[in-house]
Amino acid sequence: MSASSRILADSARYFPGGVNSPVRAFRAVGGTPVVAREGHGSTVTDADGRRYVDYVGSWGALILGHTHADVVSAVSSAAARGTSFGMPTASEADLARLIIQSVPSVERIRLVNSGTEAAMSALRLARAYTGRSKIIKFAGCYHGHADLLLAQAGSGLVTLGLPASAGVPPSAIADTLVLPYNDLSSVTTAFAEHPGAIAAVIVEPVAANMGVVRPRPGFLSGLRDLTADDGALLVFDEVITGFRLGRGGAQSRYGVRPDLTCLGKIIGGGLPIGAYGGRAAIMDLLAPNGPVYQAGTLSGNPVAVSAGIATLQRLADGRLYAALEQTAAALADGLADTAASAGVRARVVREASMLTVFFAGREPADFTEAQQADTFAFARFFHAMLRRGVLLPPSQFEAWFVSTAHSAADVEHTVTVAAAAFREAQAA
């Protein structure tokens, strides 16, 4: 029995489905999960010593790749000073400063432990600020697993084909309106039908949980105008796009300023973190200043914060984003050419350093279109790549993440092996 099989057998005994987060179980592609032993730069080595070029990147958190020297050193020295205090520390303010200097709409911020907490708390705050209850979200956008947001969410819920989740009472999503992504007219209609009742519109400014789906020109600025006109708040969930699409995230790239922003992933450098922030007038409603309660034993954890600081400091070197863009473009172009040569119906959709290869004839604009992709072809492609040493996110509806550690040689290897993998994907 291989080391991986042994670990998976143990895990199956201890954890529901053998995992601690559903997509890791490979249900969308079949087969058995890769058991990670260690990661360095662009690669992950499994428990049996097989090495893969990794495009999961801890689901987008590891923009500098695995075990970046700055991050490892920051984490070990922070841990040596104390792993948790439950008191204010200097490093929390250092991380906040780095974020506030980079993300245009954030004047004040609250650190939490996950993206889920960030989105859930931002919406509680939006409801309190506006005195309204209804929330608009978009089908295929994932904002974590808080009850009120588990309505037509993307990510693992697409993978598992669950329309929502069991255990979420209808009352929890009674005020959640789910509309098609990229469809401004349905947002206009919703505001007309519910005047003065909508607290917030929450959106992934570039969607990455139904595969990468880009906003149409005018979609984000249209949301800004509609929310402002009605007195609702615009919440950008930049848990993935924050510090991924550039230091200022999607809001800088698209020049649209939301009222509240959710962050996570990259700002923790691979350790558990989340954050939400925005205009001071809104954020100051949070306890202890105001009546909106939200708290956390490990919030602002010094070890997580140190990894985030090391990551953001490294990203201050603007050349890194230019290099990332170049690497990701070479990868996307190479994959598109290879698919075309193999005669495969595939569209490579890329935004900065995240991309999805949709096994579909055209670029999707929303969840319905994304779901038309051939998930069986993707599963065959996934396994053909895995056998050749390339680890992709194990679902058609997730983004691949390129890190600053991916080299031209990694890209070349990926594109080369993709030729055979596309042929295998098609041969069914």
Q: Which residues bind ligand PLP (CB under 6 A)?
A: 59, 114-116, 119, 142-144, 155, 204, 209, 237, 239-240, 264, 274
Which candidate, 150, 415, 108, places its Cα nearest to that of 286? 108
The string of DSSP letters for 108-163 reads EEEEESSHHHHHHHHHHHHHHHHT--EEEEETT----S-GGG-BS--THHHHTT-S
Q: 200 in the Ramachandran plot: left (φ > 0), alpha (ψ -120 to 50) or beta?
A: beta
For the chain, the maximum distance between any two Cα atoms, rounded to a whole number of angstroms, is: 63
Q: Rank residues 112 and 384 by Cβ distance to ligand PLP and give the closer one.
A: 112
Of 208 and 344, the one with the shorter C-beta distance to ligand PLP is 208
Tokens for 317?
């070197």
Report, in Å, the least distance between residue 211 CB and ligand PLP.
Answer: 12
Q: Which of 49, 50, 68, 48 is nearest to 58 (CA)?
A: 68
Closer residue to ligand PLP in complex, CB, 63/346? 63
Label the pairing between strands 198-203 and 134-138.
Answer: parallel
For 406, phi then psi, to 5°, come to -70, 130
Strand partners, 202: 235
Alpha carbon distance 246, 253 (integer Å): 7
Residue 406: how many CA atoms within 13 Å on its side-chain side? 31
Catalytic-labelled residue, pool 54, 134, 181, 265: 265
* Residue 265 is among the residues annotated as catalytic for this protein: yes
State in angstroms the smallest separation of the CB of 304 from ligand PLP: 12
* DSSP helix/strand/coil, 203: strand
Measured between alpha carbons, how far is 93 from 82 in angstroms, rounded to an integer? 17
Q: Which is nearer to ligand PLP, 155 or 327 (CB)?
A: 155
**Which residue's CB is nearer to ligand PLP, number 156 or number 334?**
156
Specify whether 134 is catalytic: no
* Residue number, 304 or 365, with CB nearest to ligand PLP: 304
Give yes or no: 142 in active site: yes
CB of 268 to ligand PLP, least distance (A): 9
**Shortest reach from residue 210's CB to ligand PLP, in Å:** 11
Min. distance of Cβ 243 from ligand PLP in angstroms? 13
Residue 236: CB minimum distance to ligand PLP, A: 10
Catalytic site residues? 142, 237, 265
